[in-house]
């Protein structure tokens, strides 16, 4: 599965050593390329994604995307959204909630119509067009969150709209995946679809609305009675994992739960607990970024027609989000609209889930599956440089590393 540059140790720990080596390879190469990119004036985050492409199965073959790396990646993006939630106030999000709602809805409708329309025009089967449309819908907010957080931009209006819209987008995407799967299996159950969505909405609204008040009442009491070491950190972690699991059960992404956990705890945790959580984030985010690159496969370029279609799909994915979400925020001016639109471009985990579901249900071909994956990797790579340009005006000269996450 993985080529390995050293001889194995004798002590029966081969598999274990290999995992350590993979972790070193992922973390080390991600940071090395981030450094290289920064020196070239490019965003380090794009370098970390590129590291995954380089060390992945298509090129060097050092690391294959296995269970452990995937879990580290998921924990990485969960901790990232948790940290982002810690820095944001619910009030800040609801103030721009109307705009976020329009951005979220248009950011799902326009990409769906674009993907569906493109494939219909190309004469593909209707079911495949539906799945391609669905795959274009959900924004994966991790990439954008990392850019905004590392540049200290989380408190810009555009950032708050993006975060709110990403939550709405995720709930809508759940609805769309459910509908697409119903079409594919021929069993449209509107009742169940409605219930699933309603449950997800109720869960998100309840936690967002009363989570913080509950935490503010319960946390200090609990904390003062606990005798175990680092009680605050432990409570925060239990809330993080608990809401992530509940979110996944409610049908929305685990990272939405992580974000809600951060929101609920924002303003109640001392600086030191922020630093402890930040340590986990710093360690794991490179795994999240590199694992996007690990998905990349040269098979997308197997033949000319696939290649050309992939090259059509990338601008369709980029432009449809940019236009849909940009329109939603256009009343706040062209600059904010651009930032919001660009920030919503990345696709990720959900897009892979739709593609895999389509493949399993024989709704899309393996070639289309690979194209969708290629599109997701390309959109992820494009976002950091585009955001860098869009936020040029407000970007101070290179921020102090110590100030990351320190704003507010």
- For residues 215 and 277, which CB has a smaller minimum distance to its own copies in the complex? 277
Nearest to 281 by CA among 249, 237, 321, 250: 237
Phi-psi region of 168 (alpha: psi -120 to 50; beta: other; left: phi over 0): alpha
Helices (H) and strands (E) in the chain, counts: 16, 0
Rg, C-alpha atoms of the chain = 21
Q: In the complex with its own copies, which residue's Cβ is closer, 243 or 338?
A: 243
Name the DSSP class of 122: T
Residue 357, interface with its own copies (CB under 8 A)? yes
Residue 110 binding its own copies, by CB under 8 A = no
Sort residue 230 into left (φ over 0), alpha (ψ -120 to 50) or beta. left
User: Closest CB to its own copies among 28 and 126?
Assistant: 28
Distance between CA atoms of residues 145 and 393, nearest Å: 19
Q: Is 20 in the site for its own copies (CB under 8 A)?
A: yes
Residue (of 122, 181, 117, 173) closest to 309 by Cα position: 122
Nearer to its own copies, 23 or 312 (CB): 23
CA distance linking residue 321 with residue 103, whole number of Å: 9
3-state secondary structure of 182: helix
CB of 301 to its own copies, least distance (A): 27
Q: What stretches of 63-203 adopt beta strand conformation (E)?
A: none
198 binds its own copies (CB under 8 A): no
How far apart, in whole angstroms, are the C-alpha atoms of residue 177 and residue 189?
13
Least distance CB 138 / its own copies (angstroms): 10
Count interface residues toward its own copies (CB under 8 A): 69
Restricting to residues 226-245, which ones interact with its own copies according to CB under 8 A? 226-231, 233-234, 237-238, 241-242, 244-245
Smallest distance from its own copies to CB 347, Å: 15
> 50-89 mask for its own copies (x: CB under 8 A)?
-----------------xx-xx--x---------------
DSSP 330: G
Which residue reads 């897009």 in tokens?
Answer: 351
Between residue 35 and residue 54, which ones bind its own copies under the rule CB under 8 A? 35, 38-39, 44
Residues that bind its own copies (CB under 8 A): 6-13, 16-17, 19-21, 23-24, 27-28, 31, 34-35, 38-39, 44, 67-68, 70-71, 74, 150, 174, 177-178, 181, 196, 226-231, 233-234, 237-238, 241-242, 244-245, 248-251, 254, 272, 275-280, 282-283, 353, 356-357, 398, 401-402, 404
């Amino acid at each position: 599965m993985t080529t390995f540059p050293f001889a194995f140790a004798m002590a029966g720990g081969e598999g274990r050593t290999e995992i350590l080596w993979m972790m070193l390879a992922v973390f080390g190469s991600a940071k090395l390329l981030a450094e290289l990119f920064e020196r070239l004036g490019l965003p380090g985050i794009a370098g970390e994604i590129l590291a995954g492409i380089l060390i992945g199965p298509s090129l060097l073959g050092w690391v294959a995307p296995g269970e452990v790396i995937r879990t580290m990646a998921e924990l990485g993006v969960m901790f990232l959204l948790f940290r982002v939630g810690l820095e944001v106030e619910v009030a800040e999000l609801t103030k721009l909630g109307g705009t976020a709602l329009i951005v979220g809805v248009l950011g799902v409708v326009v990409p769906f119509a674009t993907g569906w329309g493109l494939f219909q025009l190309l004469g593909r089967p209707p079911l495949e067009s539906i799945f391609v449309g669905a795959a274009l819908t959900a924004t994966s907010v991790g990439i954008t969150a990392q850019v905004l957080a590392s540049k200290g931009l989380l408190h810009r209006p555009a950032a708050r709209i993006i975060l709110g819209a990403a939550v709405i987008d995720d709930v809508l995407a759940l609805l769309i995946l459910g509908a697409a799967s119903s079409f594919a299996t021929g069993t449209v159950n509107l009742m169940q679809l409605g219930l699933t969505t309603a449950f997800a909405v109720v869960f998100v609204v309840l936690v967002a609305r009363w989570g913080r008040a509950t935490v503010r009442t319960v946390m200090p009491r609990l904390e003062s009675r606990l005798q175990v070491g680092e009680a605050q950190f432990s409570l925060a972690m239990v809330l993080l994992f608990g809401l992530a699991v509940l979110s996944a059960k409610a049908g929305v992404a685990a990272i939405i739960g992580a974000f809600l956990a951060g929101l609920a705890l924002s303003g109640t945790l001392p600086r030191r607990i922020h630093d402890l959580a930040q340590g986990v984030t710093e360690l794991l985010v490179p795994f999240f970024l590199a694992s996007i690159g690990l998905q990349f496969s040269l098979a997308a370029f197997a033949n000319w027609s696939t290649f050309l279609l992939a090259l059509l799909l990338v601008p369709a994915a980029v432009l449809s989000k940019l236009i849909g979400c940009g329109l939603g925020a256009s009343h706040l001016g062209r600059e904010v609209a651009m930032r919001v639109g660009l920030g919503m471009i990345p696709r990720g985990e959900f897009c892979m889930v739709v593609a895999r579901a389509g493949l399993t249900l024989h709704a899309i071909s393996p070639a289309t599956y690979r194209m969708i994956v290629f599109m997701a990797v390309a959109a992820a790579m494009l976002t950091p440089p585009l955001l860098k340009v869009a936020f040029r005006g407000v970007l101070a000269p290179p921020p102090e590393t110590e100030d990351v996450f320190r704003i507010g």
